[in-house]
Structure formats: C-alpha cells, structure tokens
Amino acid sequence: MLPQKTFLKRRYELFESDFDVNNNIRLNRFMQLLQNAATEHAEKLGFGWDALNACNVLWVLSKVKIVFHAPIVKGATCLDIVTWPKAPNKFFADRLFEVYDDKGAHVASVLSVWVVIDKTARRMVSADRLADLYKADFDEATVDVTADFVRLRNGDDFAPAYTLPVMRSLLDVNKHVNNTNYVTLASDATSGQMPGVLEIVYHKEIVGGNIEVSVRRGDNCEDVVGVVDGVLCFTVHFEYKF
C-alpha cells in the first residue's frame, strides 16, 4: 500500500555503470539511490543533515532489509522510488520504500531502521531530542517486509574471506564508512548472485582500522560478518531465489 501523505517520489535514471559483471544492478548503487531519496525527503521535512548537525546529532542507519520482487538487470532505464517515514518510537525511526522499474513493475520493498547518535559521544540518543524537528503528518502505509532479521554472530563456521584497510574512499561527510559501502564489502566475499532478500545490520560504525571479512555459505544463502579490532561491526544476510 502506497502512502497518501508525507511521502517523496523520485525517478532515477540508470546507466551502464550501474550494473555489475553479471548484468545485475550494483547493490551499493541501489542503496545509494535509496539514500538519495531519503536524504532529500528528510531535508524537505526539516530533519535533514543540516538541521541535525546544528543539534550536534546525526542520523545513523541501524539496519535495512530489502526484498527484491524481481531482479533489476541491465536494460532497465530508470527506477521510481517512493519513500516515507514512520512515526518514531523512543529510539528508532523507520523509513520505508517501494521501488518500480521503467515498465511500472514492482521490483523491491525496503524497510530501513534509523537511530540518532550524538556527534561528540558517538552514542545513541533518544529520538525525543529531535521533538522540535521530527514532526510530520506520518502516513500509516506499510511495506510487505517483515521486521525480523537473521541473527548472525562471528564463529568458527565462518571462513575468512579477506582483510581490507579502511580507505578514504569508503568514508563520507560523517567521517565513517558510508552505509552504502557495507554491502560491497560483503558482496566481495560472496558468489555475487543477485539476492532475493538482503539484510544488513550495522552493529558499530567503522572509522578506521582493518576490516576482517568472513563468509558462511548455506543452502540458497550466504552470510557475511565484518570485524574491526576484534569487534563485530556489521552482518549481512543474502538469500537467493532468482
């Protein structure tokens, strides 16, 4: 069900560089488009980067779940993205997305869960701190994406894939690895298939050090964990159905 109020709809053109070696859309590019739509909408609603920066806080993505209803392959010329925020609870604020291809086919539904952190302490703060900013006529529309995530922890059943130092190109204006880059870090450890379901949980922001990436392969799925200095920083679940 699409929202009827407080939503943004944008069309994004696709180019050859947006597709990978298997002719599927690059997952980090797909997430960049989601991020662009979310950023623009938050700015329009008055709780974007500049407004939060003035309060010494930042939006941080806690977790995201993408359900692809069909593969997005080379030849697609654009994507239409509809996004809207949900009313926040004490600590978490959901933002939802529906995505359509150039023929109007429904290709993806997305649930993203955001938190606010203090810029100085780098710790989560209550959404109440944004009470004067985070106001909207929130729509009750939902997406067909369950809020349960596969629980992953690093263990002996994960095999080391590679280690990568945090490069400047991975960082964004908030001086940490941008949330759209984690999926590339994970994908490089997998078979490279187009997932039907993609889940990313951001456990701890990465600002430097060496990222140790490990993978576990299962039936129609692959799981990836990323560790820095012995601390679990992200987990990614790929589920295949195409």
pLDDT one-digit tens code per residue, 82-116: 999 998 887 788 999 999 999 999 999 999 999 88
Task: Give one DSSP letter per residue of 81-126, joined into a string.
Answer: EEEEEPPP-SS-EEEEEEEEETT--EEEEEEEEEEEEETTT--EE-
pLDDT of residue 49: 79
* Residue listed under structure tokens 């069900």: 1
**8-130 homologous superfamily:** Hotdog Thioesterase (3.10.129.10)
Q: What percent of the chain has pLDDT over 70?
A: 97
pLDDT one-digit tens code per residue, 23-80: 999 999 999 999 999 999 988 888 777 887 888 888 889 999 999 999 999 999 999 9
Q: What's the burial of 215, exposed, middle or buried (CB within 10 Å: 0-12/13-18/19+)?
A: buried
pLDDT one-digit tens code per residue, 147-199: 999 999 998 899 999 999 999 999 998 889 999 999 999 999 999 999 999 99
Q: What's the burial of 159, exposed, middle or buried (CB within 10 Å: 0-12/13-18/19+)?
A: exposed
pLDDT of residue 133: 66
Does residue 128 carry a pLDDT above 80? no
Report whether 8 contacts 139 (CB < 8 A): no
pLDDT of residue 1: 74
Task: Choose between 51 and 206: higher pLDDT.
Answer: 206
pLDDT of residue 130: 65
| CATH number of 159-239, picked from 3.10.129.10, 3.90.1490.10, 3.40.50.1820, 3.40.47.10 | 3.10.129.10
The residues of the chain that CATH labels 3.10.129.10 are 8-130, 159-239
Calculate the CA 101 to chain-centre distance: 19
